[in-house]
Amino acid sequence: MAEADGNGGLNRWSLEGMTALVTGGTKGLGHAVVEELVELGVTVHTCSRNEAELNKCIHEWEIKGFKVSGSVCDASSRAEREKLMSNVSSLFNGKLNILINNVGTNVGKPTEEYKEEDFSFLMATNFESAYHLSQLAHPLLKASKAGSIVFMSSVCGVVSVTGGSIYGATKGAMNQLAKNLACEWAKDNIRTNSVAPWIIRTPLTEPVLSDEKFYKEVISRTPMGRTGESKEVSSLVAFLCMPAASYITGQTICVDGGFTINGFSFPGT
């Protein structure tokens, strides 16, 4: 990895002039990451399965003056992932500074009720897509001489959270992949890290958070006594891509209000 700036200059905290691919950037945390990176000077390409949703976001970003382009892509499809990376390579002249593997979904069931198609779908969407896109992006990241991969993981890949054993397994695999790639690709000036959020308030989580019983349980297990905001995740993602984070690689960092470190309390304590 390129040496950190020894002059303490502001460029250590800047992403100005960099390029990024953010998968699934039209909603939720992906949308927040796209806007965070653009506001810090990154030229971003994103993707979505939904063409109408993608076009709507691109139009809104154009009005804001943001440098964002997009492709229609189902990240669970190998052929579409290859086409996406080919587009990115052409767009950014064979170089890429940042890859944010954000695409993910869940099918919540008890383990004994999962079907073969559930397993295949979740593994392909959550883990295989991130693995393959990282492979495809490797020469582009290496060519930039300062590459960074961030996997959008989950606390479900760190601790047991009821709601989907396959989902948790995909996120745990993602965390381990970050460690392996950090070691394999350090020689190529590529850093890899995972960000693992707990419940973050987005349009996607509003339906479950509207369940008062569920919401109270979330709050009771979270030392900070609240859910997270998307900007609290996107800011960490952006930091991990900065020169200021040049010695951080192979890490899984939880953004969870203390959820994963919250122990057991005896009565009266």
Question: Where do we find the tokens 């745990």?
Answer: 172
Is 131 an annotated catalytic residue? no
Phi and psi, residue 147, nearest 5°: -100, 150
Residue 6 token pair: 């020894």
Q: How far apart are CA 188 and CA 14, in angstroms?
A: 21
Given the residues 114, 167, 215, 247, the one annotated as active site: 167
Give the bridge partners for 20, in sequence order.
Answer: 44, 98
Q: How far apart are CA 116 and CA 123, in angstroms?
A: 11
Supply the DSSP string of 228-262, one letter for each residue.
EEHHHHHHHHHHHHSGGGTT--S-EEEESTTGGG-
Contact 72, 47 (CB under 8 A): yes
Question: Where do we find the tokens 């979740």?
Answer: 122
Torsion, Cα 243 17 179 81, to 10 degrees, reads: 180
Question: Where do we find the tokens 């992906």?
Answer: 30
Cα distances (Å, whole numbers) of residue 104 to 41, 109, 249: 26, 16, 22
**Catalytic residue numbers?**
167
